[in-house]
Amino acid sequence: MPWLLQVIVALVIVGLVLWIIQQIPMDPVIARIIRVIVIVVICLWLLQLVVALFGGGYGLLPRR
């Protein structure tokens, strides 16, 4: 499953980026805004991936 490996690698990279942002001395408000933006983008990316993998139907449950 190469897509699963890509997801894991992407999440590790995002985790490292968030850790680096935390290590840089900057205003806490700016750091929090950056963290929130990164987390929202990752959540949207994962949601898009889930929809692409399990079909983009109109309902949440598969049709029978």
pTM for the full model?
0.69
Task: Report how many domains make up the chain.
Answer: 1
Does residue 61 sit within a domain?
no
Range of the domain at 19: 2-54
Q: Which residue has the tokens 């029978």?
A: 64
Does residue 62 sit within a domain?
no
Share in percent of the chain as helix, strand, coil (round to 5): 75, 0, 25
Going from the C-alpha of 19 to that of each of 1, 23, 40, 44, 52, the distances in angstroms are 28, 6, 16, 20, 29
Q: What is the pLDDT of residues 15-63, one digit of tens each?
A: 998 898 889 898 989 989 988 999 999 988 888 887 777 766 565 555 5
Does residue 63 sit within a domain?
no
The pLDDT score that the predictor gives to residue 40 is 93
